[in-house]
Amino acid sequence: VKVVGSWLANGVAWQLTEVTLAEAASGFVVGSAVGILIALVVGLAPSIAGRVLEPGIVALYAAPKFVLVPILFVWIGNGFIPRVVLVVAAVAPVIATYTLTGIRTVDSARARMMQGLGASRRQMATKLLLPHTMGYIATGEVYVLPHAMFVAVGAEVLFGISGGLGGTIYTQGQLFNAKEVFAALLMATVISAILSWIVGLVGARLRK
């Protein structure tokens, strides 16, 4: 706690969290958009295609994301982009799963009626599927936002950078400075809890 206090006093805390928050926020936004898009594509696909594609989403959801680190490191190095890509890979399958769950609860009779009236797939998505699944999406985002934060921290550790909360954990761990390591972990936990609370409030409003 003393270390966190000193970081807050001298501005180091913001310098550390700025990097990690940027990675987590970018990955969260892009991953959410990708996940929703994937779910809409699967939901609007013919039933046979949907049954083929849906297990792929489940497989991505269950797959360990940190195994991508060596591949990303070789392809695009250890900069900002590969760390964001890792967060996107963690967020997108979760949001896709929640969104697809909501899509599966849409009234089939209403969907057939819209199709019979000549609604396009875009209209089906924007007028029926998305409004109906907004509560499911909000629930998924509340769940996945803290996860995005910790994936960003883990990415910094595995990529071995010196900045950010994860980078602090990596560099200070190399020096056996346990207080700094625990301080960075504490900050990451508190920030994740705050972000989860904020998204939870927004989600509650969307579900009304």
Confidence of residue 28 (pLDDT cuts 50, 70, 90): very high
Long-range pairs, 40-45, Cβ under 8 A, ≥24: 40/99, 40/103, 40/125, 40/129, 40/130, 42/96, 42/100, 42/103, 43/99, 43/100, 43/103, 43/104, 43/129, 44/121, 44/124, 44/125, 44/129
Query: How large is the average pLDDT for residues 54-81?
Result: 80
Spacing of C-alpha 26 from chain mean position: 9
The HSE-up count of residue 19 (CA atoms within 13 Å, CB side) is: 21
Place of tokens 């250890």: 78
Tallying the residues shown for the chain, one arrives at 208
* Other beta carbons within 10 Å of 146: 20
DSSP assigned state of 114: H
- Region 23-33: what's the mean pLDDT? 93
What 3-state class would DSSP assign to 22? helix
Q: pLDDT of 190-207, one tens digit each?
A: 888 887 787 777 766 665
Task: With cut-offs at 50, 70 and 90, classify the pLDDT of residue 32.
Answer: very high
Q: Which token pair is 69?
A: 């680190």
3-state secondary structure of 189: helix
Instruction: Calculate the alpha carbon distances from 197 to 25, 27, 107 in Å.
Output: 15, 19, 31
CA-CA distance, 35 to 97, in Å (whole number)? Answer: 8
pLDDT at position 112 over 90: no
pLDDT for the residue numbered 206 = 60
pLDDT score recorded for residue 51: 67
User: Which of 54, 51, 207 shows the shortest CA–CA distance to 132?
Assistant: 207
| pTM, full prediction | 0.82
Summarize the confidence of residues 29-56 as an average pLDDT: 80
Query: Residue holding tokens 């190399």?
Result: 174
